Structure 1
Amino acid sequence: MKHNKYISRANDSFLLYHFTSKGPKGSIQKSVIYSKTAVENIYNLAFGDYNPISDEINDLSISNNGDSVRVLATVAATLYTFTEKYPEAWITATGSTKARTRLYRMGIANNLAEIIEEFAIFGYNCKGHWEQFVVGEDYEVFLLTRKETYTSWKEAN
């Protein structure tokens, strides 16, 4: 993405990423986790403040560190790395609250031209249907995959 990002560190499996947010509230450790779901090649993306003592992520915390665009750009950057390692992956994401889901939708909408260069992205709407992401539409969940993966899937189905 065109926005500034933090440097993130991936673990050996490329399922966990750590980075540090820096702003008026100090340095705040963040993590991104890609978790396997019950469906093959579908992963859930979760991120939030990381507590190294409990080794847990708090996806409800509100850091207010003045760098939300940079944090979201860093999370987005992990998608590129993750899907390089797992090119057949489909990733679902939703906010832990409606406000966060709206924030993610706005971030996707603001960067859609760049996103669709490499990814196919969908939204699950309030009518209970998946559709290609449309700016201005309200979605409960987002789903994305590499364009090549989507094309192969579409040809097979």
Structure 2
Amino acid sequence: MSTMKYPRYEYSTEAELNIFEFESIGIKGKIVKLVQYTEMNIKGYYNLAFGDLDIITREINDGVITNNGDATKVLATVVSTVYAFTGKYPEAYIFATGSSEARTRLYRMGITNNLEELKNDFYVYGLKNDETFEPFIVGEDYLGFLITRKN
């Protein structure tokens, strides 16, 4: 696995590497985060879902904005799960979009911060308003993102 230029949290996962769990530690205390990869209706394409763990349902609450003061570290951790997941499933295409425009901008920030490193190992695409993909361009607005491992 590539070494990240930003610090990240340690995570726990299961054998299939579909769900990653880690704790965000910041100004609001410890908050459990989940990253989940779910196969979409196109074989080999996986949706990346991310958010706070809802303690009651044990599912992701992707609508809450935590503002725990550690966004860069959280995003670096999410990126590290992409490395782990695609290490096990090298043919996978990972699709990510935010539950809101603000969350999508947060994803874009995470990709931008890690882009040079990501481009060593992945093809990174942005989903444009006309529903076509283009190679990711820093500063462009995208509806979502698609990432796949370079072989």
Range class of TM-score, shorter chain: over 0.9
For the residues of structure 2 that align with 1:110 and 1:72, how far apart are their CA atoms?
A: 9
SS at match of 2:73: helix
The answer to whether residue 61 in structure 2 is matched with residue 61 in structure 1 is no
Shift of 1:130: 0.8
- Over 3 Å off, 4+ runs: none
**Counterpart of 1:155?**
none
2:101 to 88, 98, 101: 98
Q: How does 1:50-89 map to 2 (within 5 A)?
A: 50-89=53-92
For each residue in 1:80-128, what CA deviation from the matched residue of structure 2 results, as whole angstroms up to 9, or x when unmatched? 0000111110000001101111121122122211110000010111132
For the residues of structure 2 that align with 1:19 and 1:128, how far apart are their CA atoms?
A: 33
Q: Percent identity?
A: 51
The amino acid across from 1:50 in the alignment is L
**Counterpart of 2:141?**
138
Where structure 1 has 5 or more consecutive residues not aligned to the other structure, the ranges are 149-157
- Which deviates further from its counterpart, 66-75 or 45-54? 45-54
Aligned residues: 148
The amino acid across from 2:126 in the alignment is G
1:32 to 31, 35, 38: 35
For the residues of structure 2 that align with 1:60 and 1:126, how far apart are their CA atoms?
A: 22
TM-score in terms of structure 1 length: 0.91
The amino acid across from 1:134 in the alignment is I
The answer to whether residue 137 in structure 2 is matched with residue 120 in structure 1 is no
For the residues of structure 2 that align with 1:84 and 1:111, how far apart are their CA atoms?
A: 18
**Counterpart of 2:113?**
110
SS at match of 2:140: coil
For the residues of structure 1 that align with 2:74 and 2:60, how far apart are their CA atoms?
A: 15
For the residues of structure 2 that align with 1:14 and 1:106, how far apart are their CA atoms?
A: 24
SS at match of 1:110: helix
Where structure 2 has 5 or more consecutive residues not aligned to the other structure, the ranges are none
The amino acid across from 1:103 in the alignment is L
For each residue in 1:24-80, what CA deviation from the matched residue of structure 2 results, as whole angstroms up to 9, or x when unmatched? 111100100000111111000001001233211100111111111111110110000
For the residues of structure 2 that align with 1:110 and 1:36, how far apart are their CA atoms?
A: 26
Q: CA RMSD in A?
A: 1.0
**Counterpart of 1:154?**
none
